[in-house]
Structures are given as C-alpha cells and as structure tokens.
A and B are shown apart, each in its own frame.
Chain A
Amino acid sequence: MTKKQEMTQKQTNKTLQNPILKWIDDRLPIIGLLQREYIDYPTPRNVNYFWSFGAIATIMLLVMIVTGLVLAMQYTAHVDLAFSSVQRIMRDVNYGWLLRTIHMNGASMFFLAVYIHLYRGMYYGSYKKPRELLWILGVVIFLLMMATAFTGYVLPWGQMSYWAATVITNLFSAIPIIGEQVVAFLWGGFSVDNPTLNRFFVLHFLLPFVILAVVFLHIAALHVTGSNNPDGIDVKSARDTLPFHPYITSKDSLAILVFAIGYAMVVFYAPNFLNHPDNAIPANPLSTPEHIVPEWYFLPFYAILRAIPNKLLGVLGLFGGVAILFFLPFLDRSKIRSCRYRPLYRWLLWLFVIDTMFLGWLGSKPAEEPYILWARLGTVYYFGFFLVLTPLISLIERPAKLPASISEPVLKTSDHPRDS
C-alpha cells in the first residue's frame, strides 16, 4: 500500500465508529468506498431535479432485473408454448399479472427516464471534457438497452413480436454481399422461428447484466470527474458542493417517489396503454398485420429508416441516429457547457428535442404522404443538428457571462436570475 492510499483509508476508517464495520473495512475496504462515493461524494450544490434521473434509471434497471428473473422462472421459450406460458403467468401464477405488468411497462418507464437523463446531459453539456468517456459509456448503455428491449419484445410471441422481429432482423439483409448470410445467422434458420426465439431469450437474459456492468463503469467514471451542474462550470471550492448524503439522497428520494407514483398509475390503471393490441393475438407467420409498429421508444429511429428511400442508407440512418451520439463530445466545439449560457444553441437543442418527438409521432404513422415528406425534413434536421449546427454554431454564438462560481448565485439568492 502506498503512503497516500494508507492515509485516505485511515481517514475514512477513523470515521467508522461501528467496530464490525471497521473490522470489515480493514480487510476489505468496501465500507470506506461506499462512504466516500455515496455519503461524502461532494456534489455541486446547484444540481436540479434533472440530476435525479440517473438514480431513477438505476432503480428501473434493478426493478427490471428482479421482475425479469422471476418471470423467466415461468416463461417457456418455444414457439408453440411461449404465448400460452405468458397467459399462464397472467392468469394462474400468483401475482404473475403484477410481475408482468411491472416488467412490461417498466421498459417504457426505463426508456423515459434514460431519454430525460440523456437530454439533460445534452442541455447542460455534461458530455464535454472531462466527461467524454462517461458520456460514451452512457451511449453504450443506451444501445444495449435497445437490444434488450427488442429481444424482450419478441418473447411473448404475439403478432407484433413476430413481425417486429421479422422486420428488424431483415434490415441486416441490406448489408452488401454478406447480408443474407448475416440474417440467416441471426435467425438460426431460414425465417424467424424457434431457434430465433430461443437465442433471443438467451440474449434478453444476458444483456441486462452486461448493462449492469457498464452502469458500474459509468458511475465509476462519474466519480472521477464529479457531477456536472446546471451552470456547467467547474467546482472551485468546498463552498460549491454539498455531501451526497443527506442533500442529494433526500432530493433523489423525492424524485424517485414522484416517478414511482406515475409508474404505478400506468401499471395499475392503464397496463395495456402502451401495448399494441395485436400482441394479444398469437404469432402467425401467414398473416401480416396491417401496420407493423415498434414500441414508442424506437419510433424516431424507425421514422428515419422509412424516410430514406434506399434500404442500405435507411439502415445506416437508423443505426447512425444512435451512433452519432458517440461523437457529440467531439462535434461540439464550444467551451461553454451549459445551454443556460448559450443563447443560440439552446434553441437549436430544444428544436432538436421537438424534432425527435415529431419523428417519433411520424414513426407511428403509415408510410405514406405527407408523413414521408415530413419524416425526411425531420431526418435532415436530426443529422444537420449534429453534423452542421453543433460544430459551426460556436463560431457565431456569443455566450452569456458565466457566474464566477457555483456558490455565488446560490448563496446570494437575491440576485439569482432564475428565482426572479
């Protein structure tokens, strides 16, 4: 142990009064670690409720893992039995309906939390130096979540499950030369069938644990740099921060409860609101539904896919729409993090958020005019925002004056602009 490590450990150790905890910590310094990262962890004192969505997303991940494990104990991954095993869970398993509705709607709530979390990062510039890797890990999580949600949606083996699986896996046939082989490899055969369902179940079981691991890295990276804040300026003195506990824990608990109440309302009073009714019909390879619509959280990307007339380019657009987030830290040339102090970029970003929602709405519409034209315009803005506006805006934007420190506007509430 180096001298420095020894000192920090001694320091936390000193504060450990409980002899059992101290005994453990001397042998495995985990108590001190938790103490440093979840109790003392200095957090900017001006963070707002948007900073609670990381904690909410973490809770959602755990809820999904726990309910998913219990569901997996009753589910059967076979084309002849999957649909009825889900009905068994809904009807015969004690509280099976509760587990399933929590899990099913949990996916939507999870995506909702992560979308807010992600836009929070964009608005306050949390992706910028020194948090680039933290952001990139976040995008990795986002991609893994999409793969998890997609494989999970196939499992109940309803009409939408089957046809969504068929449409999405078929996208890979757009890859030149090896496309067909890739698709056959994904299917494990010549169409979406039992081998496909089986491997999707395996992947759906595996991926959440991969996400959990990446979330650990994500939070480890966060605790290296510390949290960003709504002013987007660095912490300069101890006066700028508050200990995580009890300040942030009390705030997060409140946010989590509000979120949980919304979640409970969906689960108990509108459990099928977000579910496509066609998924109440068992999968039937011989009958194609009128409209094949993915889950709402995929809709913006689905709209991009359909807006582009060339199949290969469409598929690239679909995946590019997510992948481009990886490059955001390097596309944005402005030194100012928070949009509070970026008078032009702020509006472009709001427009981007609205554009994404607009694309989502278009994704739920049939592929016909005028929706296709609108989706093309939306797609142009989507990519134009990242590739043109974000890099160039800083050339003409004149940022507003940053406060001298985080604590200055907070502690002198009288001239705090946001409270006027």
Chain B
Amino acid sequence: MKKNTRVIKNALIIASCIVLLLTILPIKSNAASETSPLEKQSWPFKGILGHFDKTSLRRGYEVYTQVCAACHGMRFLHYRDLRELGYSKAQVVALAALNEVEDGPNDEGEYYSRLALPSDIFISPFPNDAAARVANNNVLPPDLSLMVAEKAAQGGADFIYALMIGYKEAPEGSELKEGLYYNTAFKGQEIAMPPPLFEDIIDFSDGTEASIQQMGFDVAQFLAWAADPSLEQRKRIGLRVIIFLGIFLIIAIMYKRRVWTRAHS
C-alpha cells in the first residue's frame, strides 16, 4: 500500500517536471513553424568544447565587408574586435583603414573625414535609418550585430545559412510584388533583400572557391561570432567551473555521510 503511493508520487513528480519543461520549451519554438524545416549544419561552435573556425570567420568577414556591408551595419562591433579572428595588429589597422569615418569638430571647429582606426565601430553604410529605407525600397536592412541571437528561435546560424541559399524561382502562379524576392527561409517567403550572393562574387584571400554555400556558411559563422563573441571563453571556463564544483560535491557527499552516521546511532 505504502509502496504504491510512493510509486505514484514519483510518477507525479516526473510528470510535473515534464510539464515544467513543456512550459519553457514552447517559448523557443513559437515562430519556427511557418517555414520549411532547416537543414542543420555541423557548426564547430556547438557542443561543450565548441570553438569558432578562424579561417571561416575571416572569410565570413570578407563576405560581410564586400557584400553585406553595402546595406547592413554592425554597430556593436569595433575593428579591434577583428583581432579575435586571428588578424595581426597591423592587419587590423590596415583593414580599418579601408573605411572612412566622419569625425570632428577639430581645433578649427570643422568636421572632416579620416581613415577608420581599430577603435572605431564598424562604419554604417547609411547615415541614418531614413536614408537606409530610401535606398532599399522603403525597407530597413537590420543591423547584423545580434542577428543570430534575434533568430535563435528560427535556428540562429542555421537560419542565416538557409536564408543565404534560400533564393529560388517563385512557384508557378504566385505573383511577387515589386521589389520582393522569393526566399524559402524567410517568413512569408517574400523578402525585400535582393539575392546578395552569386558564385564567385568575391575572391577569398585564402583562395577558397566562393560558392554560394561556402559564402553562406562562412558569413553565418561570422555573424554567430559577432552575436556571441565570448562563446569560446565561456565554454572553456564553464567546463572548469563544473569540474571544480563536482569535486567539491564529492567532498560534500563524503562529509555529509560521515556526519550523519553519528545521527543514526
């Protein structure tokens, strides 16, 4: 009799844990349902010891500056952050100097333009949102710094990849509005971004062939890094913290056992 109630009770506890999980999970998966399921890429930054592939990140940065930066800013990144992609100090200075920024006022009270420094944030293609809209059919190209975090519910980096390779002919009979393009990954399938990538649109400096898949993969990984630059450090520290706590837990278990044997005698 007693044993029975215990079994039922344990079952109830497990059931309530499952309900609790169900409470939390759907928050994540609300938005994903409308588009076709994503192909999952094997990202090196997943998993307990995940890390970014630096050569891929550098290629991703090339895709970003040579293609996406025509329309999208990344206002939370500084050129100095590129050091984390494996560029040397001199290389970062040179990469920054490919861009011009407005500065001022100087001692004469004038505004002037100068070459960007590593301490500058990535320059934006447009001076303000209104200018960005006017240039893009009245749709604002969003800032990409946190794009992968924003799209966490749709798959994060997998979503970016799917978006990059998702441009297709519109199916028979459907009519696209002026300035919209058919993309299987985008919600509603009609996106205002013109297909940004074409075969060999850029020359990768490491000689990798610039297929759409390759560029999509690299730029997605680059954006994943941009949204979560502390990922590698976090996972490394995390493992140590958990091992450390685990050792203490073992000691605590032994101590507790020893102390409590006295209580039962």
* CA distance in complex: A273, B245 (Å): 22
Whether A265 contacts B19 by the Cβ 8 Å rule is no
Q: A253 within 8 Å of B by Cβ?
A: yes
Whether B150 contacts A277 by the Cβ 8 Å rule is yes
Q: Please report which residues of chain B, range 1-36, place their CB below 8 angstroms from some CB of chain A when the two chains form the complex.
A: 2-3, 6, 9, 12, 15-16, 19-20, 22-24, 26-28, 30-31
* CA distance in complex: A410, B245 (Å): 31
Nearest-CB residue, chain A, relative to B142: A281
Binds A, one of B54-62, B161-169, B191-199, B256-264: B256-264
Whether B235 contacts A269 by the Cβ 8 Å rule is yes
Interface string of A346-376 (1 = CB under 8 A from B): 0000100110011011001100000000000
Q: Please, how many residues of chain A have a CB less than 8 angstroms from a CB on the other chain?
A: 53
Whether A264 contacts B149 by the Cβ 8 Å rule is no
B residues apposed to A, CB below 8 Å: 2-3, 6, 9, 12, 15-16, 19-20, 22-24, 26-28, 30-31, 48, 75-76, 81, 145-146, 149-153, 227, 229-230, 233-235, 237-239, 241-242, 245-246, 248-249, 252-253, 255-256, 259-260, 263-264
Whether A354 contacts B15 by the Cβ 8 Å rule is yes
Q: A387 within 8 Å of B by Cβ?
A: no
Ranked nearest first, the 10 interchain pairs of A and B with the lowest CB-CB distance are: A268-B238, A280-B149, A97-B230, A250-B256, A277-B152, A357-B19, A360-B23, A280-B146, A257-B249, A361-B23
Residues on B with C-beta less than 8 A from A413 are 264
Nearest-CB residue, chain B, relative to A290: B31
Question: B190: shortest Cβ distance to chain A, in Å?
Answer: 17
* CA distance in complex: A291, B235 (Å): 32
Q: Please report which residues of chain A, range 213-246, place their CB below 8 angstroms from some CB of chain B when the two chains form the complex.
A: 242, 246
Which has the most chain B C-beta neighbours within 10 Å: A87, A257, A258, A278? A257
| Given A97-B230, A98-B230, A254-B256; 9 other pairs, CB 8 A cutoff | A84-B76, A247-B263, A253-B256, A254-B252, A264-B238, A274-B24, A290-B30, A350-B12, A364-B27
Chain A interface mostly: helix
Question: A282: shortest Cβ distance to chain B, in Å?
Answer: 9
* CA distance in complex: A357, B19 (Å): 6
Q: Choose among B6, B22, B227, B237 the residue that contacts A280 (Cβ–Cβ < 8 A).
A: B227
Residues on B with C-beta less than 8 A from A250 are 252, 255-256, 259-260
A residues apposed to B, CB below 8 Å: 45, 84, 87, 90-91, 97-98, 101, 242, 246-247, 250-251, 253-254, 257-258, 260-261, 264-265, 267-269, 271-274, 276-278, 280-281, 290-291, 293, 296, 299, 350, 353-354, 357-358, 360-361, 364-365, 410-411, 413, 417-418, 420
Whether B26 contacts A364 by the Cβ 8 Å rule is yes
Whether B245 contacts A260 by the Cβ 8 Å rule is yes
Question: B9: shortest Cβ distance to chain A, in Å?
Answer: 8
* CA distance in complex: A354, B28 (Å): 21
* CA distance in complex: A299, B25 (Å): 13
